[in-house]
Structure 1
């Protein structure tokens, strides 16, 4: 079996252009992948076609070799753009392998470690004003759906330092959510790489009374020393890792033995490397909670990885809070029941692209998440692009 072509498709979701990949073979079997990256849809699409020559004419089963060549042989650090493009192609190869062998991908990764995966809701706080009362009522609705965990960013458009009023509002939002969900639900606080070390620690100390399960990405990821400083001093566990795109970055982070909730992003490094990183985390007695905030296929890929990962902690889900049409982008999506999902035993990813639905939602430059603008949390297209 040889790879004959790599095709790309973009679905213009309002808050992120979803980039999909289809890898074709000379035996009529194709596989699908995803390569979404906030704000860089067309750029990643171009990168996919620049990496395409590395796999044309090759056996899709040689996925480790493909991943290495698409990362190493370019001899440039393309960061998340290169990682996303690599992943889109590599995911599709895993899908082909599963289809040919008539096995779900998780079985190719080592088999089932978990019968079901506990999930946390994200994207649930997009409607209404940014007030404690509104967040209280929205959080109650999430729990009524059966979720036992939920995540949100209470910090508005803050960056580095925060004014007194905004500081208190963020804490009031966390308190309102905790009051709404009670003490048996996990509350996860998202930082989106916003703060200086000092500001992050001020927030960590104040939010501790609400017992959040983690404080995510409190400082920019480029400075591992800053993340370690916060992790050492924070009374709330720190989670991070979604921005990294190679094993070496995780090796440096883990070497300090301070962060033990690792949110690797398979879509920035490929599934082969993601499985290796999960093993590294396990060796440091940590747990994984992969970033799953791209598109619907990314969520399925993460679910297969999580099912085959002994030290998996919790899975991120947006599906219940996206626009209804987004569930039609794939022929099959994940099913959420009482705050858990189960991975399908259908071969490969167990799904395919619905090209008719994708064609109804073209790429738009304004479809991205502007995290440092007022109202970003509403996930509406950005005006002025």
Structure 2
């Protein structure tokens, strides 16, 4: 079996354009993947088409060599853009392998490690982050069966905050804890916002409300800052979604300070993601892969999580997306009472509905501006 071509499709989801692909083969089996990257849908699409000549003619089973050709052999560091292009094509190859062998992808990655995957809700707060809205929206999430939920209480903050904004953010955390009770995990999203001292002030203040983690409190690439916060914070730190190679995770893990690793298969591909899960396992840590792109990304994470013994939590946006989002796949992908399972169908278990995709064209205003007031409503940005 040989790869013959790669097709790309951009879907105009209102809060982030989604980029999907199909990898075609000479035996008629087609695999799907995703390369979504917030404001860079067209850029990643161009990278896919610029790099696809490297894999045409190759066997889709040779995913390690495909990764080397698209990363090592190019001899340049395209960061998350290059990683997204790689992951889209490599994911589609895993889908093809599953379809060709009649096995779901998670079986190819090592098999079932869990009966089901516990999910945490994200994107549930689109009604606003005033205290009353948060209270009622959080209760609705728990009523759906979720036992964990994540939110960013910090508005448009960056590096430092005024005292009144600090108090408001902590109050929002208190309101959500009051709404969901003591037995639900609340996860606090930092979105790489803060300086070290601001992050630690917030960590100390929020500890009273027992968050399960404080995610990405400081920018990720100066790892000394990440490590300092992780070692001094009374709340466990979770991070990793911004990294796009194994070496970055190796550097992070050697400090033995962060033990909740949020790798992003969207930037790494499944082969590297599985290896990183093993690295985390060896450091006595757990994984909660970042799954905040499109629905194919969520499916990929489900397969990876099912095959990872040290899986912790699965991130879900899908239930809080536009109602048509499920229609772009051949079969629905739904959480049931706060849990999900990857499909038992071969490959990823889904194909693209190209007719539905054509109804939602690319829009340059579809991206998430995390440092603007009201970003959480995920409305079109002009």
Q: Under a length normalisation based on structure 1, what TM-score does the superposition of the two structures give?
A: 0.99
Aligned to 2:4: 4
**Equivalent residue for 1:57?**
57
* TM superposition shift of 1:195: 0.2
d(CA) in 1 for partners of 2:133, 2:95 = 42
* Deviation by residue 1:222-256 (Cα, 9 ceiling, x = unmatched): 11000000000000000000000000000000000
Deviation of 1:333 after TM superposition, in Å, equals 3.4
CA distance in 2, matches of 1:286, 1:311: 7
Distance 2:76 2:361 in 1: 31
2:81 corresponds to which residue?
81
- Inter-partner Cα distance in structure 2 for 1:332 and 1:257: 41
CA distance in 2 between counterparts of 1:351 and 1:333 reads 9
The offset of 1:360, in angstroms, is: 0.5
Q: Distance between the aligned counterparts of 1:335 and 1:325, measured in 2?
A: 13
Asked if 2 retains the 8 angstrom alpha-carbon contact of 1:300 and 1:333, the reply is: no
* Alignment partner, residue 259 of structure 1: 258
Match of 1:320 in 2: 319
Size of the aligned set, in residue pairs, is 382
SS in 1 for 2:72: helix
Deviation at 1:71, TM superposition (A): 0.9
- Is 1:381 the counterpart of 2:380? The answer is yes
Secondary structure, aligned partner of 1:40: helix
1:101 corresponds to: 101
* 8 A contact 2:326–2:333 mirrored in 1: no
How do residues 1-385 of structure 1 correspond to structure 2 at under 5 angstroms? 1-128=1-128, 130-383=129-382
Question: Using the alignment, how far apart are the partners of 2:313 and 2:332 within structure 1?
Answer: 18
Q: Distance in 1 between matches of 2:65 and 2:181?
A: 49
Describe the superposition over 1:305-352 as per-residue Cα deviations: whole angstroms up to 9, x where unpaired: 000000000000011111101111111232211110011110000000
Deviations 1:80-108 (A, max 9, x none): 00000000000000000000000000000
TM-score normalized with structure 2 length: 0.99
Work out the CA distance in 2 between the residues paired with 1:312 and 1:134. 32
> In 1, Cα distance between the equivalents of 2:322 and 2:11?
13
Give the C-alpha shift of residue 165 in structure 1.
1.0
* Deviations, residues 207-230 of structure 1 (Å, cap 9, x unaligned): 000000000000001110000000
For structure 2, the residue ranges without an aligned partner over 5 or more in a row are none
Q: How far apart in 2 are the matches of 1:175 and 1:377?
A: 19
What is the alpha-carbon distance in structure 2 between the residues aligned to residue 185 and residue 269 of structure 1?
A: 31
Partners of 2:329 and 2:67 lie apart in 1 by 25
Counterpart of 1:5 in 2: which secondary structure?
Answer: strand
CA deviation digits over 1:30-87, x for unaligned, max 9?
1000000010000000000111011101111101110111111111100000000000
5+ long unaligned stretches in structure 1? none
Contact 1:106 1:112 in 2 (8 A): yes
CA RMSD of aligned residues (A): 0.6
